[in-house]
Structures are given as C-alpha cells and as structure tokens.
C-alpha cells in the first residue's frame, strides 16, 4: 500500500467521479461546471491519468500551455490544480511532531527516515526490519507509525493527527468507518480536554474527513 494514490493508474474517469461525489468546499464548487466536457478536452490533448494532468498543471508556463491547447480557462485550471494536489498530502517532517520521543526521531533520522512518507514506506517492508534498521525497539515505533498512517489523510495536519489519536482514532480505516456524529463528538471532547487547536471543526468538515480517509484506505 502506498502513501498516496497511484497517480499513474488513476484515470481521468476516476478523478471525474471523485470530484462529482465529493462534498466540495465552496471555493472548489466551480470545478463541477462543465466537468464532463473539460475532462473530454483533456483526453483530446493526450491526458489520460492524474499523473499526466499534474505534469501539465505543475508550472505557470505549462498550465497556460494546457489552457491554450484545451481551450479551458486558466483560472479553472488553477482551481483544479489546487483540488488535485489536495489528494496528495505533503509528507510531514517527523521533527514537527514535538510531543513524540526525540531520541526515536533522531535514530530514525540517522537511518534516513525523516518524514511520514519515508516512515510509512519503510514500515511496509515489515516493522522488524524497520526497527533493526533504525536500531530501535518495535514498541518505540508504535506512536510514530500511527502518526505516519493518519498523515496520509487529506487535511490531517500534525496537530489534527494528534487530536485524532487522543480521540481514539489511530488509522485511516478507523476514521473511514466512523459514524460522523460520533467522530465529531470524540474530536470535540479531545480538543476541549487538551486544547490542541483554537476554533471548532464542524460536522460537515468531519464528514469530508471521513470521505477523505476512505480514499486513503483504497490506496
């Protein structure tokens, strides 16, 4: 299982379905306007996968070239890039999780494992092998592996990963299977007790989180 979706095997049809089924935040709602025609336009210029699309959207020059080739407004493409890049959460440096054991962070760093993606991928070969490589006891890796797993979910920041753990949710699968109201209340209680962040995460946002976690489990 990869840290992200496989961009090479994820087709434009998959992207189209995901955008249609998502509860898009208001600023991304314009992506649905003429979505079918825009996806057809991408296919006509040789774009077949999310990997192809990300490449054409990556830089300003490339994006403007795609806008000209496909006759799609550049502003739409900028918005689409924002949505698509959200499907690939950035790996978080292990050092930002400052509540975790610093000696373990240092040993992982010395083993060449510096962020959540590297840790997740290293653990896929087996916890025993990872522990041996980093010269650590397996039990000392438990919290780190949980954090690396949760960080795969779109919108989960280091602070929110900590909140999820405090609320009793330690994997993408647990979040994906959660009842939205139960998860909402659990997160609310966890934050009330420890004040991990200011403000309040709404129930609709929790439903989006559950949806994003479900995609992470399909990687």
Yes or no: say if 167 and 187 are a contact pair by the CB < 8 Å rule. yes
Handedness of CA 81, 87, 88, 91 (dihedral sign): positive
Q: Return the pLDDT at 42.
A: 98
Handedness of CA 127, 131, 132, 133 (dihedral sign): positive
**Owning domain of residue 138:** 94-217
Count the Cβ atoms, other than its own, within 10 Å of residue 165: 16
Decide if 183 is inside a domain. Answer: yes
The rounded distance, in Å, linking the Cα atoms of 10 and 17 is: 11
The rounded distance, in Å, linking the Cα atoms of 95 and 47 is: 38
Q: Return the pLDDT at 219.
A: 76
Residue where a domain stops, chosen among 53, 85, 117: 85
156 and 210 in one domain? yes
Q: Return the pLDDT at 119.
A: 98
pTM: 0.92
Residue where a domain stops, chosen among 85, 109, 135: 85
Q: Return the pLDDT at 78.
A: 98
Helix (H, G, I), strand (E, B) or coil at 175: helix
Residue where a domain stops, chosen among 54, 85, 116: 85
186 and 165 in one domain? yes
Q: Return the pLDDT at 218.
A: 85
80 and 99 in one domain? no
Q: Return the pLDDT at 2.
A: 86
Decide if 4 is inside a domain. Answer: no
pLDDT in tens, 52-85: 999 999 999 999 999 999 999 999 999 999 999 9
CA dihedral 19, 24, 28, 31 (to 10 degrees): 30
Tell me how many domains the chain contains: 2
141 and 188 in one domain? yes
Residues of the chain with pLDDT under 70: 1
Count the Cβ atoms, other than its own, within 10 Å of residue 147: 25
168 and 65 in one domain? no
Decide if 159 is inside a domain. Answer: yes
């Amino acid at each position: 299982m990869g840290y992200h979706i496989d961009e090479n095997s994820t087709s434009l049809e998959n992207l189209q379905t995901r955008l249609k089924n998502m509860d898009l935040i208001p600023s991304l709602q314009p992506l649905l306007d003429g979505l079918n025609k825009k996806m057809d336009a991408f296919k006509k210029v040789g774009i077949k996968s999310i990997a192809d699309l990300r490449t054409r959207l990556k830089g300003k020059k490339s994006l403007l070239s795609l806008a000209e080739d496909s006759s799609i407004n550049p502003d739409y493409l900028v918005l689409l890039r924002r949505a698509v890049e959200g499907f690939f959460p950035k790996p978080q440096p292990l050092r930002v999780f400052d509540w975790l054991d610093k000696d373990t962070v240092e040993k992982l760093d010395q083993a060449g494992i510096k962020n959540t993606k590297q840790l997740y991928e290293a653990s896929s070969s087996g916890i025993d092998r990872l522990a041996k490589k980093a010269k650590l006891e397996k039990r000392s890796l438990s919290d780190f592996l949980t954090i690396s797993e949760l960080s795969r979910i779109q919108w989960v920041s280091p602070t929110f990963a900590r909140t999820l753990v405090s609320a009793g949710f330690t994997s993408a699968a647990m979040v994906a299977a959660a009842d939205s109201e139960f998860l909402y209340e659990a997160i609310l209680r966890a934050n009330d007790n420890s004040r991990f962040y200011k403000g309040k995460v709404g129930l609709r946002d929790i439903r989006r989180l559950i949806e994003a976690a479900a995609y992470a489990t399909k990687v």
